[in-house]
């Protein structure tokens, strides 16, 4: 049981609307588009992500991913969402609110990726901004956290542009691309200025 849990989604969670994008949980019918975008963006994403399992883009691995996402959402541990462009419903990336901690913390961590063809076009900024009301109002979190590799200038700019404040530096924080990497730590509090 989640202490201070305030929301429960039955079979499907409603889409989250943003400026030019919408966010929704992945579905099995998304596999082909997701796998194609991830494969086409492999070189672009590799420096910023954990090492991909050899079967990562297969339908079976995607089904297991969906099962884990559904279990996490049901247990209020994480909410994995795909980001789609409004104008043509094209998949542009993904964003996850994970590591949700209830009780006295009321916090969660965001992680995100964008496909190479859609980078630096404002879609991730719109997705992060859309995720905030869902996190703070619907889920009633008090704090959102994010971490990024210091050399990831695009991610640093994204977090600062969306109102996150740099709070620290974590040595060997996450294993990214097979190497334990230092990360900058950011957070945004529910009542931070917009």
CATH number of the domain residue 50 falls in: 3.40.630.30
User: Which residue has 């990024």 as its token pair?
Assistant: 148
- Measured on CA atoms in the order 34, 186, 109, 136, is the torsion positive or negative? negative
Residue 52 lies in a domain: yes
Q: What would the pLDDT profile of 60-110 be if each residue is shown by its tens digit?
A: 999 999 999 999 999 999 999 999 999 999 999 999 999 999 999 999 999
Residue 28 lies in a domain: yes
Residue 5 lies in a domain: no
| Confidence at residue 1, expressed as pLDDT on a 0 to 100 scale | 41
Residue 38 lies in a domain: yes
Residue 188 lies in a domain: no
Q: What would the pLDDT profile of 15-66 be if each residue is shown by its tens digit?
A: 999 999 999 999 999 999 999 999 999 999 999 999 999 999 999 999 999 9
- Sheet-wide strand order for 107-114: 16-17, 21-24, 79-85, 91-101, 107-114, 143-148, 179-189, 165-176
User: Range of 52's domain?
Assistant: 16-142
What is the model's pTM? 0.92
Residue 187 lies in a domain: no
Residue 132 lies in a domain: yes
Give yes or no for a contact between 46 and 177, defined as CB atoms under 8 angstroms apart: yes
Number of folded domains that form the chain: 1
Q: What would the pLDDT profile of 119-164 be if each residue is shown by its tens digit?
A: 999 999 999 999 999 999 999 999 999 999 999 999 999 999 999 9
């Amino acid at each position: 049981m989640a202490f201070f849990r305030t929301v429960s989604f039955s079979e499907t969670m409603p889409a989250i609307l943003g400026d030019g994008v919408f966010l929704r949980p992945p579905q099995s019918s998304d596999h082909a588009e997701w796998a194609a975008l991830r494969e086409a963006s492999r070189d672009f994403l590799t420096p910023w992500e954990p090492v991909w399992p050899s079967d990562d883009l297969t339908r079976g691995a995607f089904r297991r991913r969906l099962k884990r996402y559904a279990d996490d959402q049901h247990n209020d541990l994480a909410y994995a969402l795909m980001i789609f462009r409004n104008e043509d419903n094209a998949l542009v990336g993904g964003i996850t609110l994970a590591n949700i901690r209830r009780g006295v913390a009321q916090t969660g961590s965001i992680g995100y990726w964008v496909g190479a063809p859609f980078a630096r076009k404002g879609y991730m900024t719109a997705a992060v901004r859309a995720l905030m009301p869902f996190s703070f109002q619907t889920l009633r979190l008090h704090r959102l956290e994010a971490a990024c590799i210091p050399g990831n200038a695009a991610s640093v700019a994204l977090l600062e542009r969306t109102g996150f404040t740099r709070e620290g530096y974590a040595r060997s924080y996450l294993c990214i691309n097979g190497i334990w990497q230092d990360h900058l730590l950011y957070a945004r509090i529910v009542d931070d200025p917009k």
